[in-house]
Amino acid sequence: MIKAITGTKDILPVDMPKWHALEETVRNVFSNFNYKEIRTPIFEETALFARGIGESTDIVSKEMYTFIDRSETSVTLRPEMTASVVRSVIEHSLHKQQGLNKLYYFGPMFRQERPQAGRFRQFHQFGAEGIGSNDPALDAEMIIMAYDIITKLGLKNLTVKINSLGLPESREEYKKLLREYLSDKVELLSEESRKRYETNVMRIFDSKAENDQKIMAEAPLLIEHLDEESLEHFKLVKEILTSANVIFEVDPKLVRGLDYYTHTAFEIVSTSVGSQSALCGGGRYNLLSKEIGGEEIPGVGFAAGMERILLACENEKSFEPKEYESDLYIARLDKSLYNVVIDNAIKIRRNNLIVEYDYNHRSFKAQMREANKINSRFVMIVGGEEYERGETVLKDMSNGEQFTFKIDATTDIIKKITG
The one-letter amino acid at 175: K
Query: Can you say whether the dihedral through the CA atoms of 309, 315, 316, 320 is positive or negative?
Result: positive
- Smallest distance from the beta carbon of 351 to ligand HAM, in angstroms? 41
Q: Measured from the CB atom, is 135 or 391 closer to ligand HAM?
A: 135
Q: Measured from the CB atom, is 212 or 307 closer to ligand HAM?
A: 307
Which residue's beta carbon is nearest to the bound ligand HAM? Answer: 305
Residue 308 interacts with ligand HAM (CB under 6 A): yes or no: yes
Residue 82 interacts with ligand HAM (CB under 6 A): yes or no: yes
Residue 76 interacts with ligand HAM (CB under 6 A): yes or no: no
Residue 52 interacts with ligand HAM (CB under 6 A): yes or no: no
Contact with ligand HAM (CB under 6 A): which of 301, 318, 376, 381?
Answer: 301
Please, is 397 exposed, middle or buried when counting C-beta atoms within 10 Å of its C-beta (0-12, 13-18, 19+)?
A: middle
Distance CA 414, CA 412 (A): 5
Answer for the pair 348, 413: CB distance below 8 angstroms, yes or no: yes
Number of residues that bind ligand HAM (CB under 6 A): 27
Answer for the pair 150, 159: CB distance below 8 angstroms, yes or no: no
Other Cβ atoms less than 10 A from the Cβ of 379: the count is: 21
User: Among the candidate windows 165-173, 206-214, 300-308, 394-402, which touches ligand HAM by CB under 6 A?
Assistant: 300-308
Residue 125 interacts with ligand HAM (CB under 6 A): yes or no: yes
Residue 80 interacts with ligand HAM (CB under 6 A): yes or no: yes
Residue 120 interacts with ligand HAM (CB under 6 A): yes or no: yes
Q: Map residue 21 onto helix, strand or coil.
A: helix
Contact with ligand HAM (CB under 6 A): which of 51, 111, 196, 263?
Answer: 111
Contacts of 67 (CB under 8 A, 6+ apart): 74, 75, 76
Residue 281 interacts with ligand HAM (CB under 6 A): yes or no: yes
Distance CA 83, CA 115 (A): 24
Q: Which residues inside 260-279 make contact with ligand HAM, applying CB under 6 A?
A: 278-279
The one-letter amino acid at 156: K
Residue 293 is classified by DSSP as T
Q: Measured from the CB atom, is 234 or 329 closer to ligand HAM?
A: 234
| Spatial CA neighbour of 263 closest among 216, 212, 301, 314 | 301
Answer for the pair 291, 135: CB distance below 8 angstroms, yes or no: no
Residue 303 interacts with ligand HAM (CB under 6 A): yes or no: yes
Interface with ligand HAM (CB under 6 A):
80, 82, 111, 113, 118-120, 123, 125, 127, 129, 257-258, 278-283, 285, 301-305, 307-308
